[in-house]
Structure 1
Amino acid sequence: MQRAFFGARTAQTKDEWLTPPDLIRQLGEFDLDPCAPVNRPWETAKRHYTIEDDGLSRPWAGRIWLNPPYGKETFRWLDKLADHGSGIALIFARTDTKGFHKTVWAKAHAVFFFEGRLKFYHVTGKQAGTANAPSVLVSYSPADTIAIMRAGLRGKLVIIAANDNEPPK
């Protein structure tokens, strides 16, 4: 099994980049993080799966926090979250990709586009560099969309229509 990549690559090119802790706190409590780093300076959910657990193949329950491995695997994780139906994912805003169209535009409830770029953290808890691309939060339930709206984040929330012929709810 290859080492998973979490978050954004910077000039230092580390394997794991952690979600800013303030962002996790602002979004509320999560039941499971299926892509948690083995060593983490703060909790992202009540339960964690690491690369050693293979979170993609394990059962998920409750509200999910998902900062998936970036790259070709990203959308496999998002497919599972979409099927699960409750949770928020943090990914790059690669809106032009087939994966984004298939697992975000076609399945998500909402997408939040951050103003500016996020700063991720090292597993040591020290702040790393700025992401090399814009990031988005992807919500797969109305309750998670409301959590994003209440988080006080700077950016723009887009509610996605169920299909092209229906207005957003």
Structure 2
Amino acid sequence: MGSHHSARAGSDVWLTPPGVVTALGAFDLDPCAAEPRPWDTARRHIAPPDDGLAATWEGRVFLNPPYSNLTDWLGKLADHGRGTALIFARTETRWFVDLVWQRASAVMFLHGRLHFHLPDGSRARGNAGAPSCLVAYGDGDALRLAGSGLAGTFVNLGNSSLEAA
């Protein structure tokens, strides 16, 4: 899913549909951005070769993480405490239990399957192949997710969020 998705046949860059980002409001940082990209996902982007995982994160973060080291990225967002991640809804996995069920403020399970976009901005022919969800960390992101108007089921997890320093 993320911009550094493990390489397979064809493109390894899978861009978030622009309507998803727009529905969530303005983000300050996308540490997993693609370069080049057909549209912006935040005010500041970190793209390869720069290491978004090693960078200092500030403000509200949008995260469409690479699945090769998903837990590192999602763990950093949970520690940061302010932002929203787009991930597959693998609700039974250890990482989902640890980093979403136990640490996130809210989750929206998206209805249907997303169609990601290719680096030129065109919509991928096939859907994502699995259900997706948006995971909010912090009360502000939970409220934006609840009011996003996206087609999905919103679940307030009630975890107290630790605001970033």
TM-score between both structures, scaled by the size of structure 2: 0.90
Count of aligned pairs: 157
- Which consecutive unaligned segments of at least 5 residues does structure 2 have? 161-165
| Counterpart Cα distance in 1 of 2:100 and 2:121 | 30
For 1:161 and 1:61, the matched residues in 2 are separated by: 24
1:78 match: 74
Distance 1:147 1:162, change over 3 A: closer
1:17 and 1:85 mapped to 2: Cα distance? Answer: 25
Secondary structure of 1:101's counterpart equals helix
Deviation for aligned residue 1:13 = 4.3
Distance in 2 between residues matched to 1:103 and 1:13, nearest whole Å: 30
C-alpha RMSD of matched pairs (Å)? 1.8
| Equivalence for 1:114 | 110
The reply to whether residue 17 of structure 1 matches residue 11 of structure 2 is no
Question: Counterpart of 1:15 in structure 2: which amino acid?
Answer: D
The Cα of 1:75 is off from its aligned counterpart by: 1.4
Question: Is 2:19 the counterpart of 1:4?
Answer: no
Shift of 1:74: 0.8
Render the CA deviation track for 1:36-79: whole Å, top value 9, x for unaligned: 011100000000001211100000000000000024x1111010
Q: Secondary structure at the match of 1:17?
A: coil
1:67 aligns with 64
CA deviations 1:108-127 (Å, max 9, x no partner) are 00110001011100000000
The Cα shift of 1:150 comes to 1.4
Report matched runs for 1:69-148 at 5 Å: 69-71=66-68, 73-128=69-124, 129-148=126-145
AA of the residue aligned to 2:139? P
User: Is 1:153 the equivalent of 2:150?
Assistant: yes
Q: 2 CA distance for matches of 1:105 and 1:75?
A: 14
Runs of 4+ in structure 1 displaced over 3 angstroms? none
- TM-score, normalised relative to structure 1: 0.88
Identity of aligned residues (%): 49
